[in-house]
Amino acid sequence: MLYSLYETGYYGSTPLRLGALLTREFWSSPLNPAKDSGVGRRLFAGADLFANLTRRYGRPDWGIDTVEIDGEPVRVRRNEVWRSPWVRLLHFSRSMADMRKAGRTSVEPPVLIVAPLSGHYATLLRGTVQTFLQNHEVFVTDWSNARDVPVLEGRFDFHDYIDHVREMLRVLGPRPHVVAVCQPGPPVLAAAALMAEDGEPSRPGTMTFMGSPIDARLSPTVTNKLAEERPFSWFASNMIYTVPAPYPGMGRRVYPGFVQLYSFMSMNLDRHQQAHMRYLEDLMKGDGDSAEKHLEFYDEYLSALDLTEEFYLQTVKNVFQDYLLPRGELAHRGRQVRPDKIRDIGLLTVEGENDDISGIGQTQAAHAICSQLPESLKEDYVQPHVGHYGVFNGRRFREEIYPRVTNFIRRFEARMDHRAAANAAE
């Protein structure tokens, strides 16, 4: 019912939104002699803010056409290399001709960046991808919006997520590297444990967990406490709604993106209100650069996707209420997940000092869980002065966190090359 009411509200506000758009165009037109007057700027700013607050935010574009590597522009082409109804595996392929101009002639280590399936689209990691393109062949999971997947395609749950990660690692070939950003931590670690136990050639070479709730019992945040305080039945009764027509997934039960977005914004409501007031003031002052930065951020932030009922509820239960993975009780398809079977996969954990989503220690818990992994293959890093978003994006990520991640991967690659050379000499 709530989903239908939400859609009704959106379509019902269309006349007002169209009126705001016309007002915005009128007061920004170069043919309007009063557009730079105080009244004109106020009317333009108010109309623009209303139009942006009431419009529909769709899947953002990646917008990665080139990256600069060693001072040289390198063209980037996005290719889909594998897909299911629930995800597209994207390869950001760099032009080899441009790479040679930049002095790069050898094949660089492949990295699978597993984007979170927790509300925002994978494009939230645009900056993460651009940074990793400096030294790696980059692959990214681009998850589907559940409302766009027909009911006939079946379910998608926590265990399907694990299977998808395993399948995508196989696509990358022998010993690829995997980076799990936030939510994917537990299922990615589970996938790695299963592949390690089976001795799969495509088990990860290294796994990097960034701000992930591996053990949500540690340093609980507001999000963790909510999951603990509410019974499981509350989430099932209050967070799940049916997709209405005309979406392809009509009839599917989902945790809607707009509900998630409300939860995100309510955690820092004052900050968002102040940001929109500053945006309004910037428009009235004619400060286009500051206003543009605001739009760039919120175009991404306000774009949210739906999660399937089964995936969302199982994640709440498995990760945030029963803590199955750190307690050694997670079973996948009737088989116990054994992180202690991981013996030759490098482990790097990264946390932010001010993370209010995944508290300090939640990601570090992976080291204790992987109890049989040699200390020489483990590394932990806590980045000072950053929150959750800063763990995988922004200046400190580019300048302080990413160098540690790529150097960790390079050390593993060198270790593997040394072993291969030793085996060849025998």
Same domain, yes or no, for 168 and 264? no
Same domain, yes or no, for 200 and 285? no
Tell me how crowded residue 93 is: count the other CB atoms within 10 A of its CB. Answer: 16
Q: Which long-range contacts (CB under 8 A, 24 or more apart) does 367-370 make?
A: 368/326, 369/189, 369/214, 369/215, 369/325, 369/326, 369/339, 369/340, 370/189, 370/339, 370/340, 370/342, 370/345
Same domain, yes or no, for 332 and 407? yes
Q: Is residue 156 part of a domain?
A: yes
CA-based nearest residue to 36, from 293, 292, 289, 288 = 288
Averaged pLDDT for residues 236-252: 94
Q: Is residue 27 part of a domain?
A: yes
Same domain, yes or no, for 207 and 102? yes
Cα distance between residue 390 and residue 383, in whole Å: 9
Residue with tokens 């959750």: 388
Same domain, yes or no, for 14 and 73? no
Cα distance between residue 159 and residue 87, in whole Å: 14
Q: Which residues contact 245 (CB under 8 A, 6 or more apart)?
A: none
Cis ω before 246 (30° cut-off from 0): yes
Q: Which residues contact 296 (CB under 8 A, 6 or more apart)?
A: none
Residue 311: what pLDDT? 98
> How confident is the model over 206-219, as pLDDT tens digits?
999 999 999 999 99
Q: What is the domain-level CATH number for residue 210?
A: 3.40.50.1820
Candidate from 38-52, 162-176, 340-354, 384-398 with smallest mean pLDDT:
38-52
Residue 155: what pLDDT? 97
Q: Which residues contact 222 (CB under 8 A, 6 or more apart)?
A: 267, 356
State the residue range of the domain holding 370.
66-214+313-425
Structure-model confidence comparison of residues 87 and 26, the more confident one? 87
Q: Is residue 35 part of a domain?
A: yes
pLDDT above 90 for 59:
no
Residue 205: what pLDDT? 97
pTM listed for this prediction: 0.90
Residue 172: what pLDDT? 96
Q: Is residue 8 part of a domain?
A: yes
